[in-house]
Structure 1
Amino acid sequence: MIQPTCLMSRPRKNSRAAFTLVELLTVIAIIGILATILIPVVGHVRQQGKLASSTSRLRNLGQAAILHTADHQGEWPRSTHAYDRKSPQWWLALSPYLWNEPITSASNPAFARYHEQMLRDPLDVVEQNDGTHANRFSYGFNVYLQLGEHDDYEGKPTRWNKNFNVPFPESTVIFATNKLETSDHFMAHYWVSRTDAEHDLDARNGEQAGIAYCDGHVEWVAPSETYDPSNGINHWNPSLAGKR
């Protein structure tokens, strides 16, 4: 009688097939395409977030200055161009309206945090090798609002150091994004051409600078849209700001 042969069991094939090289390359290509789409989108969203924060801080400055006038018989805060011991620079004078405590000196331990969170523009890029900014102040104050009897300017002796003396608050600059290294103000009464405004204002949003006006609203515009005497534009001199 013929005995049945003993059949050895064969290993079962793996039901999960491995990726082929073509499939792996396809997955890598898809990931690369998604990355090229998403990275610019993420960058744009991040930039828009900084722009919104920048606009908010600039608006807060303008509105704090308006609140300051309400508490000081209409007087605008002063920059280093016109401050005295009784009237500190605007970045100290506005601290009660921007911060949780008044800060009367840059030596105050809280000043660094106040400066970074309230006075430093998120769009003001780091430019130094040590990770600091080229300019001390992200924003500058319009000196026209504090000119005195010893200054020389168009419109003298008219003065606009009180808010109710500004005839066109909706089109008169109070703060703007600042490119100057150590100054907290703009000596706009010395400007003679549009290139002066383009030199001093920092266009941080593409080719646009951030501008806060005396009525509290904020716009992003080209520097020449605030000052171009060849075209009759001067939003710094309060008496000329309403002219077109």
Structure 2
Amino acid sequence: MNKHTRGFTLVELLAVIAIIGVLAAIVLATLGTIREKARLVGCRSNIRQVGLALELYSNDNKGFYPPAQVLNDGDDNGWIWCSTLIRGNYLDRRILLCPGDTVNQAALKYAGTNPPETGRSYSYCARVMSNNTHDKGTPLQKSLVETPSWQYMLTEWHGAAYSWKGHAGELANYTLATNSTANISPSHKNGGRHFVFIDCHVEWRTPDKFGDINSGWRLNNKP
């Protein structure tokens, strides 16, 4: 005796399709979150390596960090702080780009023709690494820093890519906190940024924690 096989009704088919759609949306959202976390981990690793390269340079140069810019030195018209690290084999230039940076660094204004002048995602914090002066050629000596766990060394700041030979590029400063459009790339969804401190530890901070002119943006401001 043949058994009658009951098929799906239209309502049941629509229900199955709806469930599949919901599951697909959940999977895609999860994959997006995983990718974002992976980019954050990669970016944190890169900026930490830049900080460690600066520390190694300092150890080899009587406690001095590279100046923000070097003018008329050797066979060029000068170069910027990260070029000093690359020329000294302290850093691979590819580390200067955050995996999550969506800005076309090479197309930015004043982008030069030679790496790393073609773009970077990280920048010196201006009034700390320039020894609290307006002279970008003045190097900071680590022994002058009273609170190394509080003073900013580096942060994510896509304006740092602006450069030509002898130009320091845009240096990060407290306007990152006071001006929501100041040199901020859409690298991270919530507007947060990684910061490297003089003692080389790395912190993730949201905009409300960036601080103002009286915070770690200036040399020897007190906590």
- The two structures have a TM-score, normalised by structure 2, of 0.72
How much does 1:134 deviate?
4.5
How much does 1:123 deviate?
2.0
* Cα 1:24–1:45 shift into 2, 3 Å: same
* Cα 1:134–1:43 shift into 2, 3 Å: farther
Name the SS of the counterpart of 1:171 in structure 2: coil
- Please tell me whether residue 98 in structure 1 is matched to residue 91 in structure 2: yes
Q: String of CA shifts for 1:132-168, please: whole Å, max 9, x gaps.
A: 665732111123323598749xxxxxx7611222111
**Runs ≥4 residues deviating over 3 A:** 12-23, 132-135, 147-152, 191-194, 200-205, 222-227
How much does 1:198 deviate?
6.2
How much does 1:179 deviate?
3.4
* Cα 1:214–1:30 shift into 2, 3 Å: same
Unaligned runs of 5+ in 1: 1-11, 100-113, 153-158
* Cα 1:46–1:193 shift into 2, 3 Å: closer
Unaligned runs of 5+ in 2: 110-118, 164-168
Match of 2:100 among 123, 126, 145: 123
User: d(CA) in 1 for partners of 2:154 and 2:148?
Assistant: 12
Task: Show the 5 A alignment for 1:131-170.
Answer: 134=108, 136-144=119-127, 145-147=129-131, 151=135, 161-170=140-149
Q: Which residue of 1 aligns with 2:116?
A: none
User: d(CA) in 1 for partners of 2:180 and 2:151?
Assistant: 15
User: d(CA) in 1 for partners of 2:207 and 2:98?
Assistant: 17
Task: Look up the equivalent residue of 1:37 and give its one-letter code.
Answer: I
Task: Show the 5 A alignment for 1:42-121.
Answer: 42-80=31-69, 82-85=70-73, 88-95=79-86, 96-99=89-92, 114-115=93-94, 118-121=95-98
Q: Which residue of 2 aligns with 1:214?
A: 198
CA-based RMSD of the aligned residues comes to 3.4
Greater relative CO (CA pairs within 8 A, separation 6+): 2
Say how many residue pairs are matched: 200
Name the SS of the counterpart of 2:182 in structure 1: helix
Identity %: 26
Task: Look up the equivalent residue of 2:81 and give its one-letter code.
Answer: W
Task: Look up the equivalent residue of 2:46 and give its one-letter code.
Answer: R
How much does 1:94 deviate?
2.2
User: d(CA) in 1 for partners of 2:218 and 2:154?
Assistant: 13
* Cα 1:92–1:149 shift into 2, 3 Å: closer
Q: String of CA shifts for 1:23-68, please: whole Å, max 9, x gaps.
A: 4323212211101222111111110111111111111111110011
Match of 1:186 among 147, 171, 192: 171
User: d(CA) in 2 for partners of 1:21 and 1:193?
Assistant: 56
Task: Look up the equivalent residue of 1:122 and give its one-letter code.
Answer: P
Q: Which residue of 2 aligns with 1:235?
A: 216
How much does 1:89 deviate?
2.6
